[in-house]
Amino acid sequence: MQTTSTNQINTPITLFKHKLNTPLTKKKITVLQINLGKRCNLACAHCHVEASPKRTEELSPEICTQLIELIYKFPEIEIVDLTGGAPEMNYGFKPLVEAAKATGKQIIVRSNLTIYFAEGFGDLPEYFAQNQVRIVASLPCYLADNVDKMRGAGVFDDSIKALQWLNRFGYGQAANLILDLVYNPQLPTGEKFALAPEQTNLERDYKRFLKDNFNIEFNNLFTITNLPVGRTKMYLERKKLYIPYLQFLESHFNTNTIEHLMCRNELSIDYLGNVYDCDFNQMMNLPAKNAKGENLTVTQLLAASNLDLISEVQTAAYCYGCTAGSGSSCGGALI
Ligand code: SF4
Ligand code: SF4
């Protein structure tokens, strides 16, 4: 069995690239995911970005200008997906939304919902509706205790108020105002690991519970596996569960997910303008490479007038999180 070395420990985890047999090739790029920075009003226990109110890293005006140029220059970009941290708090958020809107692309914001109650951000729900921004909002459980344990005291109540606010603007009901929720499993406390429940069934339960108890409507529920990256990785290491969790994920490897992995048709850009295959690789400092094995930046994409400079996706052991069971991506289960 091939092994990989993570944190200097030789582990019995099969190298992901050996599991695949063939290189994980890139398809035509249609999604631009921009991580605007690490500032966030929350500091969730599972955050793979290690975001918090104390972080200061964010997009510069120079990189923002380049990203706007990229959005205008490449009609093949169908989706501009804004993430963070809380993307709304980081420099360049509204200019990027407006560039994507002006060029007719779908705009996604990965929103924690609670930011709408922070000083200076109360206009966001109306702004989102005016710009027909698709909202993908974290709500890791429909039970208050579980959400507050993972994300902080009072987060569940604020999330509910925010969802009701969005509903009042037509989100979750009007065809052009899409509101999706994200479920993450609780972090494991012992070696009894579980994958996310089946997405369709869980969506039905979420819809029933939120409608009956809070009169909330939404469109889709995305189940997302906790990848052992960022705070989730640190937590697992503290509990001595990091290797067992990777083994668990590998034991559920599903080859049918490979065709649909989000890294195959997206570029992930960091606040410095560096290019990655996905946000997890970004957080683990595993840059995308061109055919010569060189790192890429937004400057180089613009100079080449070509987004398709990457032939092979960079992978690591945590990729087992995207390929376990029904698979996982920023858009939920893969199959
Ligand atoms: S998980 Fe999302 S809301 Fe929580 S700290 Fe990270 S970026 Fe902020
Ligand atoms: S973490 Fe997931 S999305 Fe990123 S490169 Fe690995 S398989 Fe692809």
Q: Residue 311 class from Cβ within 10 Å (0-12 exposed, 13-18 middle, 19+ buried)?
A: exposed
- Answer whether residue 156 is part of any domain: yes
Q: What is the DSSP string of 148-204?
A: HHHH-TTHHHHHHHHHHHHHHTTTTTSTT--EEEEE-PPPPSSS---PPPPHHHHHH
Helix (H), strand (E), coil (C) string for 93-133: HHHHHHHHHHCCCEEEEEECCHHHHCCCCCCHHHHHHHCCC
Residue 5 has pLDDT above 50, yes or no: no
How large is the average pLDDT for residues 121-128? 98
Residue 322 CB–ligand 2 contact under 6 Å = yes
Domain with residue 110: its CATH number is: 3.20.20.70
pLDDT band at 6 (very low <50, low <70, confident <90, very high): very low
Residue 93 CB–ligand 2 contact under 6 Å = no
- Answer whether residue 259 is part of any domain: no
How large is the average pLDDT for residues 38-61? 96
Structure letter (DSSP) for residue 319: G
Residue 71 CB–ligand 2 contact under 6 Å = no
Map tokens 């729900």 to a residue. 125
- Answer whether residue 124 is part of any domain: yes
| pTM strictly above 0.75 | yes
Residue of 271, 255, 276 lying closest to 335 (CA atoms): 255
Alpha carbon separation from 211 to 113, 164, 187, 203, 205 (Å, rounded): 18, 10, 27, 12, 10
Note the pLDDT of residue 283.
97
Ligand 2 atom index nearest CA of 264: 8
pLDDT band at 9 (very low <50, low <70, confident <90, very high): very low
Q: Residue 131 class from Cβ within 10 Å (0-12 exposed, 13-18 middle, 19+ buried)?
A: middle
Residue 271 CB–ligand 2 contact under 6 Å = no
Residue 7 has pLDDT above 50, yes or no: no
- Answer whether residue 166 is part of any domain: yes
Map tokens 């939404």 to a residue. 218
- Answer whether residue 86 is part of any domain: yes
Note the pLDDT of residue 140.
86
Residue 169 has pLDDT above 50, yes or no: yes
**What ligand has the least distance to the C-alpha of 42?**
1
Residue 1 has pLDDT above 60, yes or no: no
Average pLDDT, the chain: 95
Q: List phi, psi (to 5°) of 123.
A: -85, -5
Fill in the amino acid letter for 292: K
Q: What is the DSSP string of 217-262?
A: --S-EEE----S-HHHHHHHHHTT-HHHHHHHHHHTB-GGGGGG-G
Q: Which two tokens stand for residue 82?
A: 């804004």
Note the pLDDT of residue 142.
87
- Answer whether residue 13 is part of any domain: no
Residue whose Cα lies nearest atom 7 of ligand 2: it is 319
pLDDT band at 11 (very low <50, low <70, confident <90, very high): low
Domain count, the chain: 1
Question: Which range of residues forms the domain containing residue 80?
Answer: 26-227+264-303
Q: Residue 76 class from Cβ within 10 Å (0-12 exposed, 13-18 middle, 19+ buried)?
A: exposed
Residue 281 CB–ligand 2 contact under 6 Å = yes
Residue of 132, 187, 135 lying closest to 159 (CA atoms): 135
Note the pLDDT of residue 181.
98
Residue whose Cα lies nearest atom 5 of ligand 2: it is 315
Note the pLDDT of residue 258.
98
CA contacts within 13 A on the Cβ side of 207: 16
The distance of Cα 216 from the centroid of its chain, to the nearest Å, equals: 23
> CA 237, CA 228: separation in Å to the nearest integer?
9
Note the pLDDT of residue 299.
98
- Answer whether residue 48 is part of any domain: yes
Give per-residue pLDDT as tens, 56-103. 999 999 999 999 999 999 999 999 999 999 999 999 999 999 999 999
- Answer whether residue 65 is part of any domain: yes
